[in-house]
A and B are shown apart, each in its own frame.
Chain A
């Protein structure tokens, strides 16, 4: 039998960072690998095409990272943001191995940008891919092809043949045709289910229809559902996800980073009833942007409005869509579709509560807080009184869901309390093991990289390579 006829050792479902890391790892160990990517070639790479960096532990400055970021600090950060909802053993493995990833990636064609100011001031913790996640994925696909990995695009896994936790074959829909692929091992790296709005509605109620999906429209959760239906154990919850507040006018899918809005700490944010509902100045935006998606999702009609005055306009990155402007608060309320009298009352109450003295300073927690409001704004509170008044509509933007399959430290999926013999999971489909809730910028790519590599190692080992 020649190589072309030899059955596949490893079938990888998915086409993002975790999938390609797994495919490359298995191929480097001699396995014959097929990658089934649901998207067409031009849109390959899952959510990874919208990413930019990964969070990396390191003991000393490198050419792409400043200072140091030790494992213990990283772990503390993770435990804090997840409120302890993390498998600490897997979290520690992820963080310890994260230190190896930049070099591993560089050897496989990925290029990093020198430590710059950047968008989120992450130069100490997160190396940035030169050109971003699509450039990363281009490098991985080239490396995979060089290693002899077969890739089929427009290929969604629609069925799995599994007996007693043992995988034998998958059914794929490829350009509209059904096909069956046998392999010795299976790696599920097909992402979360955030683009499956029916499933999102089951988890969130009808309000989910108002969510914006920031990433790929191909993350339908098909493989996740197949595995859960087979009886594989789940982690996290269906309504746990990475969600930010972004401009309500952005595209429904695939808007990525550009519709993000950084005005919140310098604004008041009101809901449809023109009422404030959370402390906009709780912390620096990079530390808070990932909670605002959930906050807006809980408001009526899943919409909110950030309101600033002329003083604040140049304090944040230029927004993509021009804001609504008006010379009066009432005029702005009308432009935004809010009750003018109610918004006036909210702004007046806020302005009256801006009692704090001391310099306004966006680089520190300046302590300029309101007093007597529910909720108070605890930093960067200045009266909104200099026209023009400016407003932005906000919607929840879902990055990825956390509900996933439970894995062991070898990335083996767990069924009946035991690791499956030849089924592995990596990336968003198992990120919930480490991220039960909350988020830490760039850790999604770290989990995908570390468990992608472990899944590739495990699958190749199982296939006898």
Chain B
């Protein structure tokens, strides 16, 4: 396996060794649900380790508190080991199976897809559209479709998003079975959604994460909340606009006070600020507990979300100017890249984390 970058040999064995030492220590049991879940076990199967790694929220409290962290001869580094194992989870449960390999050099692939998608949309728009139309001023219902035709937008968006939805659902089912999920229970789902909605376990047992060093701060939790809810609000905005446009027949663009624009503006600001903050933390943080060879995956998604939101806000502000045509092409280029890479990038972490939380609530006495 050594010739393959991004997948280290023996990660699962390292995770098992770590859990065996941790289970004899248990000092970290107040930080997060990983340790109480660990304490329910005396031995750790591959399935247990997959589950525990995805239950880990990477707050890094256990690394900075660890009496066995490097340079101790045992060299326990749970956040990094679990991050590496999570990347293997993403690869192993990707659909179709062969596509999982993109997780080994995920930053590269996300960048390539983004560049291609931006290039494709912009070049095609410029090549196929009259200059006068592209750089013209468009107002009123259907203004966007003057630049990029309705049929093209709906077909491309529908196909890529539909594919992403199917791929992620199949990946989630595969993960749930591999992690020994058991029956799907409403109570567990509800509890898991409540945890995820508040990113409760980025609280590190009370005072937050070890964002940068051994000090606790709530910054990462807040920034992640902004990013997650920003994304969900933007998703809600897009859904609302889809219904209004394609079902009710009220064509975009919409006014500042319409539902899609209000949701999208708030969500977009959350996304821009949240992703920028998370990006900044990455560059300040102590790298010892980080799986830095997977940073391409983390930064790829942060960058993609950031620029999708930023170009969306720019489009909103300048939609009545002659810049609208190019801004629309750029924004849709980012959106296309986001849709294409959804099942093959860091976004899957949210799904697997939610499922791991569900399993946790299933088994917790």
Contacts and interface: CB of A to CB of B under 8 A. Distances in A.
Interface in A56-81: none
13 contacts: A113-B205, A130-B206, A131-B64, A134-B64, A134-B67, A135-B214, A251-B73, A251-B74, A254-B72, A258-B25, A314-B42, A317-B23, A320-B20
Nearest to B42: A318
B24 A317 contact: yes
Nearest to B61: A131
Interface stretch (A42-50, A232-240, A406-414, A443-451): A42-50
Interface of A: 42-43, 49-50, 52, 111, 113-114, 116, 118-119, 128, 130-135, 138, 142, 251, 254, 256-260, 314, 317-320
Interface in B71-93: 71-74
B21 A320 contact: yes
B24 A258 contact: yes
B293 interface: no
Given A317-B24, A319-B24, A114 B72 contact: no
Contact of B27 (A111, A142, A257, A260): A257
Contact of A142 (B20, B61, B70, B215): B215
Nearest to B23: A318
Nearest to B216: A111
Given A111-B207, A113-B30, A258-B21, A131 B65 contact: yes
Contacts of A258: 21, 24-25, 68
Contacts of A254: 67, 72-73
Contacts of A114: 30
A130 B24 contact: no
Nearest to A322: B20
Interface in B237-278: none
Contacts of B207: 111
Given A111-B206, A133-B27, 19 more contacts: A113-B205, A114-B30, A118-B26, A130-B65, A130-B205, A130-B206, A131-B61, A131-B205, A132-B25, A133-B67, A134-B67, A135-B61, A135-B64, A135-B65, A254-B72, A258-B25, A260-B24, A318-B23, A318-B24
B193 interface: no
Contacts of B69: 42
B340 interface: no
B62 interface: yes
A388 to B, nearest CB: 16
Contacts of A317: 23-24
A301 to B, nearest CB: 24
Contacts of A319: 24
A346 to B, nearest CB: 28
A135 B65 CA distance: 5
Nearest to A129: B27
A399 B216 CA distance: 30
A256 B21 CA distance: 11
A134 B20 CA distance: 20
Nearest to B74: A251
Contact of B30 (A116, A134, A138, A318): A116
Contact of A131 (B31, B71, B72, B74): B31
A42 B43 CA distance: 30
B118 interface: no
Contacts of B216: 111
B21 A43 contact: no
Contacts of B72: 43, 254
| Interface secondary structure of A, over-half rule | loop
| Interface secondary structure of B, over-half rule | loop
Choose among A42, A133, A258, A260 the residue with the greatest number of B CB atoms under 10 Å from its CB. A258
Contacts of A132: 25, 27-28, 65, 67
The 9 residue pairs across chains A and B that have the minimum distance between CB atoms: A131-B65, A132-B27, A113-B30, A135-B65, A258-B24, A138-B214, A320-B24, A318-B42, A130-B30
Nearest to A247: B24
A242 to B, nearest CB: 17
A345 B62 CA distance: 47
B24 A111 contact: no
A134 B66 contact: yes
Contacts of A320: 20-21, 24
A43 B65 contact: no
Contacts of B195: none
Interface residues of B, number: 32
A132 B30 CA distance: 10
Contacts of B73: 251, 254
B298 interface: no
Contacts of A42: 69-71
Contact of B68 (A118, A130, A256): A256
A79 B304 CA distance: 66
B29 interface: yes
A142 B217 CA distance: 13
Contacts of B20: 318, 320
A113 B29 contact: yes
A42 B72 CA distance: 9
A142 B206 CA distance: 18
A43 B68 CA distance: 10
Contacts of B64: 131, 134-135, 138
Contacts of B24: 257-260, 317-320
A111 B42 CA distance: 28
A131 B25 contact: no
Nearest to B27: A132
Contacts of B214: 135, 138, 142
A119 B21 contact: no
A260 B25 CA distance: 9
B29 A116 contact: yes
A119 B205 CA distance: 18
A392 to B, nearest CB: 13
B170 to A, nearest CB: 36
Contacts of B43: 318
B267 to A, nearest CB: 34
B68 A131 contact: no
B135 to A, nearest CB: 57
A50 B42 contact: no
Contacts of A257: 24-25, 27, 67
Given A114-B30, A128-B30, A134 B65 contact: yes
A115 B72 CA distance: 29
A138 B215 CA distance: 8
A310 to B, nearest CB: 14
B28 A131 contact: yes
A212 B150 CA distance: 75
B350 to A, nearest CB: 26
A176 to B, nearest CB: 18
B218 to A, nearest CB: 14
A33 to B, nearest CB: 21
Choose among B67, B70, B206, B207 the residue with the greatest number of A CB atoms under 10 Å from its CB. B67
A42 B64 CA distance: 10
A256 B25 contact: yes
Contacts of B28: 131-132
A111 B65 CA distance: 12
A289 to B, nearest CB: 14
Given A128-B30, A251-B73, A318-B23, A256 B206 contact: no
A256 B67 contact: yes
B62 to A, nearest CB: 7
Contacts of A260: 24
A116 B39 CA distance: 13
